[in-house]
Amino acid sequence: RYYPTDKGEILDKRRAHFGGNLSLTYTDPIMLVRGWKHHLFDEWGRPYLDAYNNVPHVGHAHPRIQAVAADQLKRINSNTRYLHPAQTAFADKIRSKLPETFQVCYFVNSGTEANELALRLARAHTGAKGMVTPDHGYHGNSTGAVAISAYKFNKPGGVGKADWVELVDVADDYRGAFRRDDPERAQKFADLIDPAISALKGRGHGLAGFIAETFPSVGGQIIPPQGYLAAVYQKIRAAGGVCIADEVQTGLGRLGEYYFGFEHQGAVPDIVVLGKPIGNGHPLGVVVTSKAIAESFDNGIEFFSTFGGSTLSCRIGKAVLDIVDDEGLQDNARLMGTQLIAELQTLEAKYRCVGDVRGMGLFVGLELIHSDGSEATEICSYIKNRMRDHRILIGSEGPKDNILKIRPPLTIESADVDMIVMVLDSILAEVEMGASDAPRDSL
Ligand code: PMP
């Protein structure tokens, strides 16, 4: 073994030598040393079900990814200043999944970098600076990406909203201003764009564009009402802006029915941002756009990323997309998502504290509420930690952190789905008995 198994020692070293704001999941953190498909194993070899991590899209430790990576590392790992067939093959594969207008790919190393680049593209194309974005969004950790991520800049300790940014409400039809009983809700949420553009103009900023996670994830696993983004994009384009779809969480088949989230919305963006799952764990981000936008950006300044688009990255990225196709993983996401959502709905009917079950494919949220409908943050935290006690890993999201997030690798199987729901059922029964009010030590 090349790693010490003493978890306490690792935790102490981490606390001493890593940044304090590098968060650790769970009251009792887990050390994971192996993965296989949607299964994880700790330092004792104990198994966990990974129902949370969207990065290992085609499963942890996929043999085809291992083989491709090993093969390419034996040959060459070089950059985009030299020709290599892996780079064009990867771009061809991505383009084959997108509408015809997407002709140009840029390869970078993370979702953050991809969004940062998308921002530059929008500005180069429009000559303007202002951006409109939904509240509670997350697009990355760099200065530019944080500036368009209300989830970060509006937190205590955050830098606050820049004057070139304007926020609109998330199109949350469970808790937002316009609810599911209102057939006009998509248009009403979209109409919030008009005052946002005016506010930017009032502060002397032209409109560079609009950026949103196609389905807001950190905002609470929200599925915007159908047609919302189409209506937003129409307004943004009418005002001269560019529409950016951050598909980092929603792309590549996770939604089952759709390869990209914007397809559900009847909308075609101008720029698509991909990250996380596209490298299955290897650092990789991609920006795809039209010829016209790429030409505006090709303004005399070289664009270069040392590692972005390396031969290794391109081999891995293409392999991930091939595996999704070859193993029918988009279809599996549709089937498993349908089963999961149907089973979770039985819990919604059974337990008062389950306010809403929503999702599409393997992008699923379960909102926990108090009897007055307010956000039940502590119940959510209790359940997340109890699921971990049962070795099932899920997450939590939302402005009040009261939405359980279930977002497994696309390899998950029917029996795993049954197990998640069965364990969740038993934990919700504990909650009904008042267990979540008791100190955790007394469990
Ligand atoms: N966009 C979205 C929607 C994300 O969820 C994330 C990461 N959570 C990012 C961008 C940033 O990606 P990265 O962490 O790879 O920089």
Question: Rounded to the nearest whole angstrom, what is the distance from the C-alpha of residue 213 to the centroid of ligand 1?
Answer: 10
Q: What is the CATH number of domain 63-326?
A: 3.40.640.10
Strand order in the sheet with 403-406: 354-360, 363-368, 403-406, 395-397
Does residue 161 surpass a pLDDT of 60?
yes
pLDDT of residue 8: 87
Residue 442 has pLDDT above 80, yes or no: no
Q: What pLDDT sits at residue 440?
A: 58
What sections of 275-310 are H helices per DSSP? 291-297
Cα–Cα distance, 423 to 390 (Å, whole number):
8
CA of 404 to the centre of ligand 1 (A): 19
Once rounded to an integer, what is the mean pLDDT over residues 423-436? 94
Q: State residue 262 phi and psi, 5-degree precision.
A: -65, -25
What per-residue string of b and e applies to 4-15 under the rule 16 or more CB within 10 Å gives b?
eeeeeeeeeeee
Q: Look at 10-14, 139-143, 168-172, 401-405 and tell me which has the smallest mean pLDDT.
A: 10-14
403, β-bridge pairs: 367, 397
The complex scores an ipTM of: 0.99
pLDDT at residue 443 is higher than 80: no
Q: Which residue type is seen at 201? A: K
Q: Which atom of ligand 1 is closest in space to residue 110's alpha carbon? A: 15
Type of residue numbered 332: N
Query: Would the pLDDT of 4 be above 80?
Result: no
Among left, alpha and beta (phi > 0; psi -120 to 50; other), residue 61 is left
CA of 277 to the centre of ligand 1 (A): 10
CA pair distance 77, 93, nearest whole angstrom:
20
| pLDDT of 3 higher than 70 | no
Contact residues of ligand 1, CB 6 A cut-off: 110-112, 115, 138-141, 213, 217, 246, 248-249, 275-276
CA of 311 to the centre of ligand 1 (A): 23
pLDDT of residue 412: 98
Rounded Cα distance, 218 and 183, in Å: 25
Protein residue whose Cα sits closest to atom 1 of ligand 1: 139
Nearest CA to ligand 1 atom 12: 111
Identify the band that residue 389 occupies on the pLDDT scale cut at 50, 70 and 90: very high
Please report where in the chains the tokens 């819990």 appear, as a residue.
Answer: 347
Average pLDDT across the chain, whole number? 96
Residues 6 or more apart from 149 whose CB is under 8 A from it?
A: 133, 137, 138, 139, 140
7-61+328-442 and 63-326 in the same fold: no
Distance from Cα 276 to the centre of ligand 1, integer Å: 7
- Tracing tokens 């200043």 back to the chain, one arrives at 81
Q: What is the residue extent of each domain of the chain?
A: 7-61+328-442, 63-326
For residue 285, the ligand 1 atom closest to its alpha carbon is 15
Distance 247 CA to ligand 1 centre (A): 9
- pLDDT, tens digit (0-9, with 9 covering 90-100), for 305-329: 999 999 999 999 999 999 999 999 9
Residue with CA closest to ligand 1 atom 13:
111
Name the CATH topology of 7-61+328-442. Answer: Aspartate Aminotransferase, domain 1 (3.90.1150)
Checking if the pLDDT of 2 tops 90, the result is no
Residue among 23, 107, 117, 138 whose CB has most ligand 1 atoms within 8 A, to mutate: 138
The residue to which tokens 């504290």 are assigned:
353
Q: How close is the Cα of 110 to the center of ligand 1, in Å?
A: 7
pLDDT digits (tens, 9 = 90+) for 261-288: 999 999 999 999 999 999 999 999 999 9
Whether the pTM exceeds 0.90: the reply is yes
CB 262 within 8 A of CB 245: yes
* Three-state DSSP class for residue 272: strand
Q: How far apart are CA 114 and CA 108, in angstroms?
A: 6
> Would you report the helix, strand and coil content of the chain in percent, each value rounded to 5?
40, 15, 40
pLDDT band at 353 (very low <50, low <70, confident <90, very high): very high
CA of 58 from ligand 1 middle (Å) equals 18
Listed range (51-55, 104-108, 436-440) with the worst mean pLDDT: 436-440
Conformational region of residue 439, where left means phi above 0, alpha means psi within -120 to 50, and beta covers everything else? beta
Q: What is the pLDDT of residues 172-197, one digit of tens each?
A: 999 999 999 999 999 999 999 999 99
* Mean pLDDT (whole number) for 18-35: 91
Long-range contacts made by residues 82-85, C-beta under 8 angstroms, separation at least 24? 84/311, 84/314
Atom nearest to 140 CA in ligand 1:
11
What CA dihedral angle connects 198, 199, 205 and 206, to 10 degrees? -20
Ligand 1 atom with the smallest distance to the CA of 213 is 3
Cα 275 to averaged position of ligand 1 atoms, centre (Å): 7
pLDDT score at 101: 98
Q: 1 or 69: whose pLDDT is higher? A: 69
Radius of gyration for the chain, computed over Cα atoms and rounded to the nearest angstrom: 22
Write down the pLDDT at residue 431: 97
Task: Tell me, in angstroms, the distance from the centre of ligand 1 to residue 390's CA.
Answer: 28
- Nearest residue (by CA) to ligand 1, atom 16, is 112
State the pLDDT at residue 436.
Answer: 81
* Percent of the chain surpassing pLDDT 90: 94
Residue carrying structure tokens 């990255």:
313
Q: Which atom of ligand 1 is nearest to the CA of 142?
A: 16
Question: CB of 318 within 8 A of CB of 252?
Answer: no
Q: Which of 22, 170, 249, 407 to mutate to test the pocket of ligand 1 (most atoms within 8 A of CB)?
A: 249
